[in-house]
Amino acid sequence: MSGDTTELYDLRVTVERIEGRSVCGLAVGDYFELTESSRLRIPEGKHFCLYALQAVLPLLPAKQRRLPAGDWLEQDSLVCCPDPEERVVMRIERIGRRAIPTSELT
């Protein structure tokens, strides 16, 4: 952070693999993006399972920020859906960085 702006990463969460059966209809390669601090974008005509989404949501605010090199979340990027029948594995990746006026953050 510097001055009146905060630097945050835009993120993409992509289904990397499905080790069980996909009951929710997700497929490898499906994704959503988190941009501009709080805007969730799902490609038109696609969906993202609410339960897979809830598994990854708590990690996103931390992944949006630069973390110390030794922080486990700086090194790890995989998240699993909580449904044991599906075992959907998602990857969180940083796709860009932007400076946002601190006054515009929630």
Spatial distance between the Cα atoms of 104 and 106, rounded to a whole number of angstroms: 7
**Residue 3 pLDDT:** 63
Which carries the bigger pLDDT value, residue 100 or residue 35?
35
CA angle 51, 81, 62 (to 5 degrees): 90
* Position 97 pLDDT exceeds 70: yes
Residue 2 in this model has a pLDDT that exceeds 60: no
| Token pair recorded at residue 4 | 């009146």
Query: Per-residue pLDDT averaged across 93-106, rounded?
Result: 84
Number of domains in the chain: 1
Residue ranges making up the domain that contains 98: 5-104
- DSSP H helices in 1-106: 50-56, 60-63, 72-75
pLDDT mean over 51-55 = 94
Mean pLDDT of 41-50: 96
